[in-house]
Each structure stands twice: as structure tokens, then as C-alpha cells.
Structure 1
Amino acid sequence: MSLPAQPRIAFLASSTPEAQAARQGFAKVFGDHAPEEADVLCVLGGDGFMLHTLHRHGALGKPVYGMKLGTVGFLMNQHRPESLVERLHAAEAAVLKPLEMAATSESGATVRLLAYNEVSMLRQTRQTAHLRISLNGQVRLEELVCDGVLVATPAGSTAYNFSAHGPILPLGSQVVALTPIAAFRPRRWRGALLRSDTVVRIEVLDGHKRPVSATADSHEVRDVAEIEVREATERTVTLLFDPEHNLEERILNEQFTT
């Protein structure tokens, strides 16, 4: 990836006072361009705001460089006001492929959403969810009784997936994690590692009695009848990281954190 010597930067900040103050400071020094006109997007906030930015501006195809000014910053670099242009030129690129979820509700409507971290299904009431899982058109699990199930990308495997005891996936591994959430039956099923081009279909059994919601990152669809999840082959995003703390190294380090 190559940037101009003096790149046009769009500064996007979360609503916190710290992020807004940092945005004003950067804009005074470097100017501030609209995302559509910029060479690079500089995101100021936490991981939640980074995901919000990717969903809103990912289709522009602009590289994204984040600085941590929020609670969680796994997808962010350290916030340092100095040497921003030098850091941008030295940054290493990580190309992420999101998942595409097609969720069909009990009413028959279909909603399509992207997920850079994970797609999840969760029970809406106190009653457990009953789900059927098919891979590439073949039923692999006739009935999973659980609180939910998720499909995670490598970049998202250290988030909700890891909290649900799913595996951490190396960046670029071309696999996704299928992880149950509080599985009751079959009790010993711990999930599966799947090729990233696998089409995952999850059907809700007895959805009127046991309603289930589906979520792509933070976007939720209620009362779903089934979802289909696949890799979004026509959409990628490029995140930029300082060489000393790139995303691949962070994911590797997470596997050795006690």
C-alpha cells in the first residue's frame, strides 16, 4: 500500500470528549477532509467506533488507521499526537474480509448485513434456542440446544468468540470459527473450524415458542427463522497498524496470554 507524501486525512472521532478533542487537534495541524475525498481514514476511539466506521465507510475502499481513545482498542494503535504522517507511511496493512449474513425473519423478510467480527444468534427469552446447522447444504447438526451460536472471523476471534471458549484464529488463516454459546445438547460439542468459503445455514426450530435474534457485529435482527452466513468476497477493508504492534502479532500474543 502506498500513500502520497502528504496524504489527505479524514479524522473520524467517537462522541467522547477525549476523542473529539484529539480530532480538533489533528485537524488544526493536518486539515480535515471528507472520507470520500481522503487518502486515508484516521479513526479516533475504541473498537466499537472502529467497527461503526468500517460499516459506514468500508465501501469507499480507503485504508483505515485507528488510534485508541476508548475502552477497548484491539483494532487500534496507540494514541500519540506526534509523527502521524510518518506512522502512516511506516504502517503495515492487514486486509480483512467480512462475513455476509442473510437473516430471514419469521415474517418472511430477509435482511443482509456485514460483520467484521462475528455473526451470532442468541435466544430472546429465558427458554433455550433449538437450532439446526447445515454446511454447504448438508445438515451437520440436527439439533443444537443452546443459548446461541456464532460464526467468527480471524479478526473477531479474540472478541465474543474467545469469551465463549472458541479458538483464536491466525490472521490470513482462511478459516472461520463456528462456536456454540452455552451448549446444553449435545453437551460435548465444542464447535468447529471451517474453511472461510463455507456457507453456514442455521435454522431456528420452534421459533414461535423459542424466539431467536441474529446479530452482525452490533446490528440486530429479531425473531429470525434462519440465517445464512458466507464470506463477503466482493468487500475487503484495509486496516493500518504500527509495525511494532501489528494485528497479526496481537492475535498471536492473545494465544499466550495467561
Structure 2
Amino acid sequence: MPLKISFTASHAETAQTARAALVTRYGNATMEAADVIVALGGDGFMLQTLHATQHLDAPVYGMNRGTIGFLMNDYAESDLQARLAQAEEAVINPLAMTATGVDGSETRALAINEVSLLRAGAQAAKLKITVDGRLRMAELVCDGALVATPAGSTAYNYSAHGPILPIGSDVLALTAMSAFRPRRWRGALLPKSATVRFDVLEPGKRPVMAEADAKSVRDVLAVEIQSEPSVRHRILFDPGHGLEERLINEQFT
């Protein structure tokens, strides 16, 4: 019996054209009734789709109609039912961010790739780092810092010279961006169960913003980050091109 597929696409013309062709060929179920959700676009749209469908049980299979497409499969109109039936599944948990603003407001958001803190002014940020309630660094002077999941370790984290993490490693990467003091400090590897807290020192003089995927919060005073095991994102990949293989291959390219 053929799988019921729900197609969703970014606003890009190539993605919309692909969606129209696939809907004509395979039909289009609602997301709530679908066995599989097919996302057409780039990695940014894939993240949007995963966030938007996290309450559904259906896995998401991406086809690249964007630029890099690290989380996507190659695009093809033919044999989609067979590809979906043979696909490998990866399950990832997002990070939960709780950001406290200098005005006392509290913002919560989930991040599949990373939670990052970035300086929002002319001067470097000053951050205090606590892990599981224990002070680990009294002062980090930097352009920013982030906590990345294994799935997100090849994104912003890797650009900041952080490590690529195997998908099943149960490890988080804490990576500094342009650390000035301690000189050239790049970060640490932490267990997935860790709770990381950043306190912003001198927030008036050195403002800092926080981002959880595409959710931005300006003028933060403190940011707490931890894995959220209750949320499970199911992602499908063509055989031999799964997320684990991609993460390993990325280290040799």
C-alpha cells in the first residue's frame, strides 16, 4: 500500500515548482494524515519544517531545492515511494533555551542545531559559564559562544572551529567564537545531560543577543541551555547517505 505523503515547500520558485510536479504525481495528504512529510527547500526550510511538525509522529524526508542541503536528499521526481520505503531514519533531540532579558523577561525556544550567544555591540562580550550548577569559567571574553547538538555540529559550530560530533555520541559541543581571554580557548565537550548557563557580565556596556535556530532574543542577561529528550525529530535519508555517514564524511572533505 503506497505511503500517504504530505508535501511542503519553501517560497523559492524551484521548490514551489517541484512541489507542484510531485503533488500531481503522488497526490498530497494533510500533514496530520500523512505517513511521511516531504520538505522541499534548503537546510533552513528543513529546520522550519521539523519545528512546525514536532507534534506529529510522521518523519520528515527532505529533498534539496536550496543551496547546501546537508539535511536534504537529492531531488528526483521518480521512484519517490520506493525511496521513502527504503530510507534510513535518524532521531535527534533539540536543545531547550531559556533566555532572561535585562528587563526581566523570559523567552523559551527550541534549537535543532545550536543555541548561540553573540555580542550585539562594538565591544567583545564577557560571559560567565556554569555547567550543572558548577562554575567552570569566571570570565570568557569573546565575540560569542554556542552550544551545538551532534546534528548541528557541522553548521555554525564547525565554522567557529568546533568539533564535528558523531550522531549517536550523546555529547554537546560548547564552542567559543574568537576568544580573546582565555587566549584561543575554543570550548569543551559536555555530556548530553548537562545544563549549561551563560551569565552576561557588563550587559549595559557589552550587550549580548541569543539565538535558538532562527529565534533571536536581544539584550540577554542569562541563557540556560539543556537537551530536550521529550521532543524527537525523525529525519529520513536515502540508504548509505544517512546523517551518521554525512557527519563522518564531512571530516574528510
TM-score range relative to shorter protein: over 0.9
Other structure's SS at 2:15 match: helix
CA distance in 1, matches of 2:57, 2:207: 37
CA contact (8 A) 2:125 2:143 kept: yes
CA contact (8 A) 2:177 2:186 kept: no
Q: Residue 199 in 1 paired to residue 195 in 2?
A: yes
TM-score by length of 2: 0.98
CA contact (8 A) 2:150 2:167 kept: yes
Query: How many angstroms does 1:222 deviate by?
Result: 0.6
CA distance in 2, matches of 1:176, 1:28: 42
Instruction: Specify the code of the residue in structure 2 equivalent to 1:189.
Output: W
Greater alpha carbon shift after TM alignment, 196-205 vs 59-68: 59-68
User: Which residue does the alignment assign to 2:157?
Assistant: 161
Q: How many residues get paired?
A: 253
Other structure's SS at 2:163 match: coil
Q: Residue 216 in 1 paired to residue 215 in 2?
A: no
Structure 2 gap ranges (5+): none
Other structure's SS at 1:169 match: coil
Where do 1:62-73 residues align within 5 Å?
62-73=58-69
The runs of at least 4 aligned residues of structure 1 exceeding 6 Å deviation read: none
Query: How many angstroms does 1:246 deviate by?
Result: 1.2
Instruction: Specify the code of the residue in structure 2 equivalent to 1:37.
Output: A
Instruction: Specify the code of the residue in structure 1 equivalent to 2:180.
Output: F
Query: How many angstroms does 1:98 deviate by?
Result: 0.5
CA contact (8 A) 1:94 1:239 kept: yes
For 1:39, which of 16, 23, 35 is the aligned residue?
Answer: 35
User: Which residue does the alignment assign to 1:12?
Assistant: 8
CA contact (8 A) 1:62 1:237 kept: no
Other structure's SS at 1:243 match: coil
Instruction: Specify the code of the residue in structure 2 equivalent to 1:233.
Output: P
Q: Residue 175 in 1 paired to residue 171 in 2?
A: yes
CA RMSD across the alignment: 0.8
Other structure's SS at 1:189 match: coil
CA distance in 2, matches of 1:34, 1:214: 34
Query: How many angstroms does 1:20 deviate by?
Result: 0.4
Query: How many angstroms does 1:208 deviate by?
Result: 1.2
Where do 1:84-233 residues align within 5 Å?
84-233=80-229
Instruction: Specify the code of the residue in structure 2 equivalent to 1:155.
Output: A
CA contact (8 A) 1:152 1:176 kept: yes
Instruction: Specify the code of the residue in structure 2 equivalent to 1:106.
Output: V
TM-score by length of 1: 0.97
Percent of matched pairs sharing the same residue: 55
Instruction: Specify the code of the residue in structure 2 equivalent to 1:21.
Output: T
CA distance in 1, matches of 2:251, 2:157: 13
CA distance in 2, matches of 1:193, 1:249: 21
Query: How many angstroms does 1:154 deviate by?
Result: 0.4
CA distance in 2, matches of 1:36, 1:214: 32
User: Which residue does the alignment assign to 2:233?
Assistant: 237
User: Which residue does the alignment assign to 2:252?
Assistant: 256
